[in-house]
Structure 1
Amino acid sequence: MTDNTKMFNELFYELEHCRKDKQRKKIGEMNEIIDEMNEEEHKFVFKTELYNKMNKMIEKKKMSMENATWMLKHIGYCKALKNVWNRCFEYSTLNERFERMIIEEEKKKEEKNKRLLIDLCEFYVLLNDNINSEIISICVPCLLKVASDKEESGETRKEVEIALLALSNIENYFLRQELYLKEITEIIEYQKKHRNLTRLAYWSVWDFLIHRLLADNSLEEVIVNELHFSREAARELEELTRNVNWKKKEEEMNKEEAKEKLTLKRWLETFSIYFLRCKLWNEENAGVINSIVQVYRAAKGDNHRGISDWCTYPLRNASENRVVKINDLLKGRAVEAVLEEIRQPTLDDNAMRNCLYFFLNVSKRLKRKTNNEANEAKRIELKRKIFENMEEEGYEDTITSFQELLSFSFEKNILLIYL
């Protein structure tokens, strides 16, 4: 129990005794408290019991539907914004109520309440991590319609951001392209020309599309050659790197600064999926890798050690993906960055594992001889450059011992804790 959770719970249990206007004022105060909650506070407060209580209040007309949707939308937005893993809403009676409402509202013809349906879809998708196909087929077109609004007022930009953040929260990867691809493509193309989206919104639209790669590799051509993901994402990451105040500790950042840093971390996660799944060659890969290395160098100090560790995930996946050339890793200065990471005195276990795999992947790829004389000459030259890099840093013997350690652990199945 913290000051935030205590104040929130006190206000929540006062709601059923308030008139609609006074209730709305209290919800406004509660939303401000939700903004300040950290992940643990969010999990402590928003449990299935609270959502069940809300459902009873709605049934007994002690909470208006308007106030309920306003509050739930804000809870869902903060949950997704802060990457809080909390599935309590899914198991509540309130969830069942709103599933029925979405389906019933969609079936209406002339009497359809479009604003209510939008609100329902937004908070339902933001609060749920497991959504059935019937609800998805209603929510995705509804959210895309909101996200396609080109008006540049502050209120509209916020609505678009919420709709796109909700879309990025959809974990069902088996969506039919006709549900989303045309609209998503138009949103990205318009953003390239007009830059009307917030940074979080632009990450959200790309993340939604990149996640579809997990089940549909036919999207590679659109993502790589038509929409130029690598170029756009690298530009976004570089701008975010310049905007984040790396001298400030995380607890010293204001709300907008913390949001920018979280968006930067989200891009690193999206790059990890991209390098893991995309098998279409792209000449812009070296630029992407270089932008990740820039983040690594900017975040390497004590204040943001977690971000620099996170950079090792996409670099490891890039080293494993055969369409990412070894020369791209060299041009992007990935080898130097991973060598720098290994020398850190307080290296995170996951970061160490990623660094080891990076060099193991590079080593395996450089060992494979080719029958083509020109390609073989390139392979030997790349191998020479990488080992020169290691020698300069004094890491040649260390990398050799890493390879022996990895080989031993694979064979004996003993050292898996380090892998």
Structure 2
Amino acid sequence: MSAKEISETDSTKKFNELFSELEHCDEDDQRKKILEMNEAMEEMDKDEFTSALTEELFDKIYQMIEENKLHWGNVLLLLKHIGFINVSKIFLIYFFDESSFCKRFEKMIVDENEKKKDEKNEKLLTDLCECYLLLYIQYSEELIPICVSFLLKAASKNEEGEKTQKEVEMALLALSCIDKYTIIKKDMYLEEIIEIIKYHQEHHNLTTLAYQSSWKFMMNRLLNYKRLEDTIVNELHFSREAASELEDLIKSVDWKREKKEEGKEGKEVHIIDRWLTVIDDYFSSCKLWNEELAKLIDCVVRVFRASKDYYRDICYQSIDVLEKITDKRNVKIDALLKSGTIDAVLKEIQRTTLDDEITIECLRLFLNISERLKDEEKDEMEEAKRKATKRKIFEKMEEEGYEDTITTFNETIVL
């Protein structure tokens, strides 16, 4: 689709027309138009979103603020929804950093935070921190402690009601944007995020997106605090919880619909995508094995099977996770066999139209298993189990006519 075609789609045309009218409206009319703009964004795919949300647009917003033509409450209403769409739909287009608005935004957070406690506007600070994390990629690590403090406080609300639930979801979604390389002192977040997760496990108060976001924030901390591993695996039961969430999401997606408008998947598909990212991080960082892992692997296989016809991006992500799982020594090969991983991958290779990237991941998966089956085991019982597992796997390959092929790949190709 050309840039001109994108700019003329109904959703972007409506968005741009409404934006051009904002500076001529009073505060109430601005709010109504921004709510319509937010609805238009819901209909956009990634290309449309990129076309509408430009550096120039943010520069114009900044200019309108400076000229007192746009009210701050309405600015935040618009920016929060832009950030929500950007992150929840995994568009992840960071265009705010380059605008003239960004430095002003950082200064506002610092200035508001430095006010005396009784003068500080916590609601404004929370809104600013949410926009900051949802829109930025090159955020200042000096501002992270401020953001974490106020957003965790907002995310800890347990009151019932749709409004509170949405506020909590926004706070957790913003926190999930803090990448794994950003160091946060554990006493700033650990007790609070554990309590948020535990409370949900007992009372089910979070939305599906909010719960996934809480785990993403937690998993991103693991790189710099390895002692979290036992808490994640044995206290909070990540594998059990992630498997349960995936099961519900798999059931809610219409995987077999004949036509799908490209780029406009349902929200459940985006959440599955986000879960797969967290699961990938989990297997990259955790070495502990428990029986709950087998159920999680089974769910990833089910996503792989379900997505292969109409959601190839999800299919690729799930096979990428499975490939990494097969290379982990803490994951038992027998569990991979029982989960149907090998059957699913063999059927994928048999497709008449192959996706090169997915095929490569499938072959890597087999090579990982092959290498692990070659490992010497000192314990005779373990060696017997290894041989039995190897025999089962190669019997499956032989049934499908792949034994010689896989052997050849293993001997001649380094992927």
TM-score above 0.5: yes
Q: What is the distance in 2 between the residues matched to 1:230 and 1:388?
A: 30
Alignment-mate amino acid for residue 27 of structure 2: K
Which residue number in structure 2 is paired with residue 155 of structure 1? 163
* Structure 2 letter corresponding to 1:226: E
Q: Deviations over 1:357-405 (max 9, x none)?
A: 1111111111011222122112111111111121222221121122234
- What corresponds to 1:105 in structure 2? 112
Q: Note the C-alpha offset of 1:310.
A: 2.4
Which digits, 9 at most, give the CA deviation of each residue in 1:36-77, with x for residues without a partner?
A: 111111111211111111111111111111111111011111
**Equivalent of 2:318, from 308, 311, 315?**
311
| Cα separation, 2, equivalents of 1:344 and 1:204 | 35
Pair 1:41-2:48 in alignment: yes
Instruction: Report the Cα distance in structure 1 between the residues aligned to 2:354 and 2:286, rounded to whole angstroms.
Output: 29
**Equivalent in 6, 10, 15 of residue 13 of structure 2:** 6
Shift of 1:167: 1.1
Map 1:237-256; keep pairs closer than 5 Å. Answer: 237-248=246-257, 251=260
Which shows bigger deviation, 112-121 or 393-402?
393-402
Matched, 1:264 2:272: yes
User: Normalising to structure 2: TM-score of the pair?
Assistant: 0.93
- The answer for unaligned runs of 5 or more in structure 1 is 408-418
Determine whether 1:195 maps to 2:242: no
Alignment partner, residue 377 of structure 2: 370
- 2:35 is the alignment partner of 1:28: yes
Out of 227, 236, 240, the residue aligned to residue 227 of structure 1 is 236
RMSD: 1.9
| CA deviations over 1:134-193 (Å, ceiling 9, x no partner) | 211100121111111112211111111111111111124322212211111011111111
CA distance in 2, matches of 1:23, 1:386: 64
333-342 or 221-230: which moved more?
333-342
- Indicate the structure with greater helix content: 1
Instruction: Provide structure 2 residue ranges, at least 5 long, that are not aligned to the other structure.
Output: 1-6
Q: Which residue of 1 aligns with 2:224?
A: 215
- State how far apart, in whole Å, the 2-side matches of 1:247 and 1:356 are: 26
* Shift, 1:254, TM fit: 13
Aligned residues: 406
TM-score (norm 1): 0.92
Aligned partners of 1:337 and 1:4: how far apart in 2?
Answer: 39
Q: Distance in 1 between matches of 2:186 and 2:344?
A: 38
Q: 2:122·2:150 contact (CA, 8 Å) conserved in 1?
A: no
Does residue 343 of the first structure (1) align with residue 350 of the second (2)?
Answer: yes
The answer to whether the 8 Å contact 2:173/2:210 transfers is: yes
Amino acid at match of 1:98: F
| 195-204 or 215-224, larger mean C-alpha shift | 215-224
Say whether residues 1:119 and 2:124 are aligned partners. Answer: no
Find the counterpart in structure 2 of residue 137 from structure 1: 145
Q: What is the one-letter code of the residue matched to 2:75?
A: A
Asked if the contact 2:45/2:263 (under 8 Å) is kept, the reply is: no
Partner of residue 406, structure 2: 399
Rounded Cα–Cα distance in structure 2 between residues aligned with 1:216 and 1:347: 41
Contact 1:250 1:258 (8 Å CA) reproduced: no
In the alignment, is the contact (CA less than 8 A) between 1:319 and 1:358 conserved in 2? yes
